[in-house]
Amino acid sequence: MAGTSVLLHCRSLVWIGSRVVTSGAINNNISFIVKQSVRDFCSKMSAAELAKKAAACAAVDNHVTDNCMLGVGSGSTIVYAVERLADRVKTENLKVQCVPTSFQARQLIINHGLNLSDLERTPELDVAIDGADEVDDQMNLIKGGGGCLTQEKIVAANAKYFVVIADYRKRSKVLGEQWKKGVPIEVIPMAYKPVISQLCMQFGGKAELRMAKAKAGPVVTDNGNFIIDWQFDAVPENWKSVNQEITLIPGVVETGLFVNMAKKVYFGMDDGTVSIKE
């Protein structure tokens, strides 16, 4: 069930002891038994969404100025960033050029009435704001859970300042502590089998082709490529070296390792506050 749907569902329920009844059916005495874990799940979801919004708003408020050339990332946290950006553009009459990192980001920009650009027209960006699947103590990132890693990395690399927004669940001491799905790697379709073999032989661990959930077959990126998720056995000492070696494998387009790229990370906390790491 999608996060938004869960939140809406939670708001439509009234809790009575260990039972829950729909708000429109209390007088009819219609009830059903629910597990305590469901209540906890709804509470955690609301805290996580609150954290995402707090981080996104703080980053937009601190880094977007008039005449800004902005890279707009992808993912669920970015939705709040674009909403806040649209609000500021309207109320403060800001002029902002937005370069998207995915189809989703492009649609968000268009739907909120913001100025859409690209790297042809706007090759140098003042700032890029994007989410992350995990951030370690050295501000190394794993990105690509949503399959947009290549365009995200291109946009971030062409920004003077790369800002990351995430909720408290994405913060780790080392990569792999919280994010258990591995490092996403975008590959040319014809090369996915050889790349999987090379990854396992060279680095160990397990690598799998990411399969789609709403269609038959593999996930296909905005670039028409496949995604391999590499789950490493042990945390490498040098992520920069690992990233470089993976990109040298024929057929690899890009990795979801963002090493030494982020300048500042905004972590939204479960109480609505924001912790900043730089």
**Which residues, listed in sequence order, are joined to residue 166 by a DSSP beta bridge?**
267
Q: Which long-range contacts does 8-14 make (Cβ < 8 Å, 24+ apart)?
A: 9/42, 10/42, 10/45, 10/46
Tell me the longest C-alpha to C-alpha distance in the chain: 66
Q: Considering just the CA atoms, what is the radius of gyration of the chain in Å?
A: 21
Q: Which of 152, 186, 237, 254 is catalytic?
A: 152
Residues near 107 by beta carbon (within 8 Å), at least 6 away in sequence: none
| DSSP type of residue 25 | G
Cβ atoms within 10 A of the Cβ of 202, count?
Answer: 12
Whole-angstrom distance, CA of residue 72 vs CA of residue 100: 5
Respond yes or no: is residue 152 known to be catalytic: yes
Q: What positions carry a catalytic annotation?
A: 152
